[in-house]
Structure 1
């Protein structure tokens, strides 16, 4: 156990290796939340080893202790008699605060879209914002998934209006749709226009590098590395890091998913519709997107105070 505890601290104390050829100005370190995830996975593998008789039983018994849940996590079912309130909880982890789910209001999303310098990047940002899809789903899109005409019957699709199909596949870039259930997500004229601009940009690159159109993947490398290769998670992260510095905002792909969901909910769209758009398997997953602003909380307090004043109650 001392070795695993040492490994946990090593994960946050030792700087991460530099990415690419450029040396970072300052060393980068893992966050405690990331270290917890690594050690949790390690412990689960050791428990699997106990079941397979690769690891001594006494080692597995030290990996966790019984814990009684006084406050239940959202969506957790304790059982009719509370029999599931006692769980096996890991003691090998850092205590981290819940920072909440980061998201962007519409005006900041506009800043991000306008901050892009290439049509491909602009389309990627716009697509994530319009559809709320996960970055893995976007990077796994094929050209055959882009049904952007008002009528797609010629493509063998009966869904009306422009939309994109999200399907779980094995992709060369490692992108993977989280849900095994395929779904079609409607898109707006904005997304269609951004895609047309991106197609023109890809055509321009293909004049000098025909490889730009070799891949059937929607998002491919056009400006560095192997032209035409499907974009990877690391390439998208680098793109978003540059974009964040350019617009002066913290922005990551998943923040656009949360932003889209938040706007749908605030616009009064039915919860089951929003869940379907996001590809959720459980309605309780939607609770993460109920972002309340300081202004909304102040309005609630002032509204109650005004009603109490009218009723003559202090």
Structure 2
């Protein structure tokens, strides 16, 4: 099976179709992709769903089952297959093996498949499979809990329990080492925007000259229907980021010394190589830059770790989660709380030291009494 990118005449971005082993279009997936596009899903989301559904069809092919034959048991087997893909999911191996995919990845794939099946249930002659159970009461009581008290809600019984992980953040000194290892002003500016602004790669690559307000040190994250370099802004929501005058000075320095003249576009980040000079920078170029910086510095990090570092520093400096949510562009404040409002062993140690300093006068009184 193959996911094929296709260009549509009236759309500035590509769509995707799924081809079976005979290179024929899988019609149910084609209709679903069209539905996602019509309802405003981001191109990157559509691409991801296409590859998730490819896995689902590969599983059905191995198990020699069709959509109409699907039962709850097959979906449960699919979850197991995602964790440990084999030709036969019923094979039992007593030796423990590391799962191919983590729980979060399996849940993402499963969500795409469930959305696909729910779409078919609404539009096709397809019998729905009950994948949820009625649950009464919640461990977390929301703001309007008193209104829904006693009411049941649906819970996906196939969803895997995700292990709680602390996000990885860099130390301030490590960020300085990484910045000093950048060979161009462009690279340093790019790293600084992901660190000081908490921007995602797509948000950085989407920036245009008109999005930068140098006189009041503001950056406007502006969603657009299409970017030449394939960059997209998650959630398609506008937001404004305040940055330091030092970062804005670095931006001005980059425009003066490295940015091209008479370009046919106004993307801020461009390719600096002679062959492709002036072309808007793409995702892969940023990933290659980070790989080079990891090799130069010996510090293992990712683009998202720079964003995590920024958010963690804000929380540790007393920022309310609601402000951090707005700055990072999260859809829900609970996402910010679940991701960043955590206490590491070092945090606990630092707070205990503050506690001890606060009671020094009590210790002095105790000594005098003795």
Q: Kindly state the Cα deviation for residue 77 of structure 1 after the two structures are TM-superposed.
A: 5.5
CA–CA distance in 1 between the matches of 2:300 and 2:155? 33
Q: Which residue in the other structure is 2:116 paired with? A: 45
Q: Which residue in the other structure is 1:72 paired with? A: 140
1:162 pairs with 2:253: no
Q: Which residue in the other structure is 1:176 paired with? A: 232
Q: Which residue in the other structure is 1:33 paired with? A: 104
Q: Which residue in the other structure is 2:177 paired with? A: 111
The 1:222–1:299 alpha-carbon spacing in structure 2 relative to 1, beyond 3 Å, is closer
1:27-67, CA deviations, whole angstroms, 9 ceiling, x for partnerless residues?
xx54442122112211121012112234213xx21x23334
1:61-107, CA deviations, whole angstroms, 9 ceiling, x for partnerless residues?
1x23334565228x6864535345x4333333444311132222322
CA–CA distance in 2 between the matches of 1:116 and 1:181? 31
Kept after mapping to 2: 8 A contact 1:126/1:194: no
Kept after mapping to 1: 8 A contact 2:166/2:342: no
Unaligned runs of 5+ in 2: 1-71, 87-99
Unaligned runs of 5+ in 1: 16-28, 151-160
Alignment of 1:116-265 (within 5 A): 116-148=182-214, 150=215, 161-170=216-225, 171-200=227-256, 202-203=258-259, 206=260, 213-223=263-273, 226-265=276-315
Q: Kindly state the Cα deviation for residue 6 of structure 1 after the two structures are TM-superposed.
A: 4.5
The 1:70–1:177 alpha-carbon spacing in structure 2 relative to 1, beyond 3 Å, is same
Q: Which residue in the other structure is 1:156 paired with? A: none
CA–CA distance in 2 between the matches of 1:281 and 1:96? 20
Secondary structure of the residue aligned to 2:301 is coil
Matching residue within 296, 305, 311 for 2:347: 296
Kept after mapping to 1: 8 A contact 2:136/2:150: no
Q: Kindly state the Cα deviation for residue 306 of structure 1 after the two structures are TM-superposed.
A: 8.7
Kept after mapping to 2: 8 A contact 1:167/1:181: yes
CA–CA distance in 2 between the matches of 1:10 and 1:239? 35
Kept after mapping to 2: 8 A contact 1:173/1:232: yes
The 1:72–1:202 alpha-carbon spacing in structure 2 relative to 1, beyond 3 Å, is same
Q: Kindly state the Cα deviation for residue 294 of structure 1 after the two structures are TM-superposed.
A: 1.9
CA–CA distance in 1 between the matches of 2:153 and 2:275? 48
Q: Kindly state the Cα deviation for residue 126 of structure 1 after the two structures are TM-superposed.
A: 0.5
Secondary structure of the residue aligned to 2:147 is coil
Secondary structure of the residue aligned to 2:234 is coil
The 1:118–1:30 alpha-carbon spacing in structure 2 relative to 1, beyond 3 Å, is farther
Kept after mapping to 1: 8 A contact 2:169/2:309: yes
Q: Kindly state the Cα deviation for residue 188 of structure 1 after the two structures are TM-superposed.
A: 1.5
Q: What RMSD in Å do the two structures reach over aligned CA positions?
A: 3.7
Number of aligned residues: 278
Q: Kindly state the Cα deviation for residue 256 of structure 1 after the two structures are TM-superposed.
A: 2.0
- TM-score, length of structure 1 as denominator length: 0.71
Q: Kindly state the Cα deviation for residue 237 of structure 1 after the two structures are TM-superposed.
A: 2.8
1:116-161, CA deviations, whole angstroms, 9 ceiling, x for partnerless residues?
233322111101222223332212111111222x3xxxxxxxxxx2
The 1:249–1:181 alpha-carbon spacing in structure 2 relative to 1, beyond 3 Å, is same
- TM-score, length of structure 2 as denominator length: 0.62
Displaced runs of 4+ in structure 1, greater than 6 A?
none
